Amino acid sequence: MRLIQLLLVCAFFVSCAGGQKKSNNGDDFGQDLEGLTNESFKWPRPKGYNAVDDFLEGNLSGQANVLNGESLAKVDSDELESPMDVPKDLDQALLACYRGNHKLADQIFDRVMKEYRENPIYWNQVGNCFMMRGSERKALLYFNKARELKDRYAPPINNIGVIFEKGKYYQKALKSYEEAKKQSSFSLTPIFNLAQIYARFGFIDEGKQLFNSLVRINSKDQDALAGLAFFELATGDYNGALRIYGSMNSDYLNKDVVKVNHAYAQLMSGNRDRARELLSAINNQNDKEFAMYLEKLKGLVK
């Protein structure tokens, strides 16, 4: 998750020019130049890529999830720390983005641009911030800038996949996630995204294997548990699915999309009354496909 390219450079110089005072006489102009030397126009030595900077530092959230050190996408904004409570500049900017304080994020990105201008992490994070604002086309520019600096860099490849998936270009998204996973086998975010898209299109063995690996890493991650339970249902292991649902927290189980699968597991395990109870508590009619599935299950438990 990271940052801004040519447009940011332009914004930086415009902001500097816009902040200058108008001079009324030559004396004021001369005073403004006092102390300027050739050193004043030199850029700082660029900070190169360091793999450790790909991982977030600090207690960013109280929520237990498998991506805790890599991504804030699974964290509610009100659970996040204040940007100034974490040590690294880019983490501060990213926290500001996730908390909706885009002005602060831009200020931080502008301030550190000279230092990070050759660092793919910076450009990737700028892209993340634009993607969170709904500016996918700008985000894509910055993700590609990150790849220009480091062509096999997994985070922007994964993030390009997210843009494809949001646009419902699922095959392209799938290929992006697979490529990101290939380039960084230790990175969990592409694995998580890939597991979810496998679930969407019924790649049973592949998806179950990935969700199993995520649960082994963090057995408290509710999304990973729900994904694994889905694949247990898909393979006909209804009791296995129920064991997983029994280990999940009540708030997560109360989500309609989880509750309907839980009800199906109960029904197929012979617990018709419990299935009926769960289904009666669901009133989601916003998604037509979901509503049709819900009515079909309700018909089965009558």
Per-residue tokens: 280: 């009666």
* pLDDT value of position 301: 85
CATH topology of domain 207-302: 1.25.40
Residue with tokens 């290939």: 182
At 4, is the pLDDT very low, low, confident or very high (cuts 50, 70, 90)? very low
> For a pLDDT cut of 70, what percent of the chain falls above it?
76
What is the three-state SS of 19-66? CCCCCCCHHHHHHHHCCCCHHHHCCCCCCCCCHHHHCCCCCCCCCCCC
Find which of 83-87, 198-202, 258-262 is predicted with most confidence, using mean pLDDT: 258-262
* Alpha carbon 204 to chain centroid, angstroms: 24
* pLDDT value of position 288: 82
Amino acid type, 51: A
Contact 210, 183 (CB under 8 A): no
Is the pLDDT at 74 greater than 70, yes or no? no
Q: How far apart are CA 91 and CA 53, in angstroms?
A: 9
DSSP-derived secondary structure letter, 177: H
Is the pLDDT at 99 greater than 90, yes or no? no
Fold matches, 1-12+46-161 and 207-302: yes
Mean pLDDT score, 245-266: 92
Beta strand extents in 63-212 (DSSP E only)? none
Q: Which residue has the higher pLDDT, 133 or 37?
A: 133
* pLDDT value of position 121: 93
Per-residue tokens: 283: 């009133």
* pLDDT value of position 16: 38
At 24, is the pLDDT very low, low, confident or very high (cuts 50, 70, 90)? very low
At 69, is the pLDDT very low, low, confident or very high (cuts 50, 70, 90)? low
Q: How far apart are CA 230 and CA 197, in angstroms?
A: 13
Mean pLDDT score, 127-146: 94
What's the chain's average pLDDT?
81
Is the pLDDT at 50 greater than 80, yes or no? no
Per-residue tokens: 287: 């998604």
Every domain of the chain and the residues it spans: 1-12+46-161, 207-302
* pLDDT value of position 29: 47
* pLDDT value of position 175: 95
> For a pLDDT cut of 90, what percent of the chain falls above it?
50
Cα separations in angstroms, 214 against 91, 192, 207, 282: 24, 8, 11, 28
Q: Give the lowest-confidence range in 70-79, 93-102, 175-184, 194-203.
A: 70-79
What is the CATH number that goes with domain 1-12+46-161? Answer: 1.25.40.10
What tens digit of pLDDT does each residue of 220-255 get?
Answer: 889 899 999 999 999 999 999 999 999 999 999 999
Contact 179, 171 (CB under 8 A): no
Q: Which residue has the higher pLDDT, 30 or 244?
A: 244
Q: How far apart are CA 66 and CA 68, in angstroms?
A: 6
Q: How far apart are CA 65 and CA 75, in angstroms?
A: 8
Q: Give the lowest-confidence range in 66-75, 81-90, 265-274.
A: 66-75
Exposed / middle / buried, residue 144 (Cβ in 10 Å: 0-12, 13-18, 19+): middle
What tens digit of pLDDT does each residue of 175-205 get?
Answer: 999 999 999 877 888 998 999 999 888 899 9
Contact 5, 145 (CB under 8 A): yes
* pLDDT value of position 10: 30
Contact 187, 179 (CB under 8 A): no
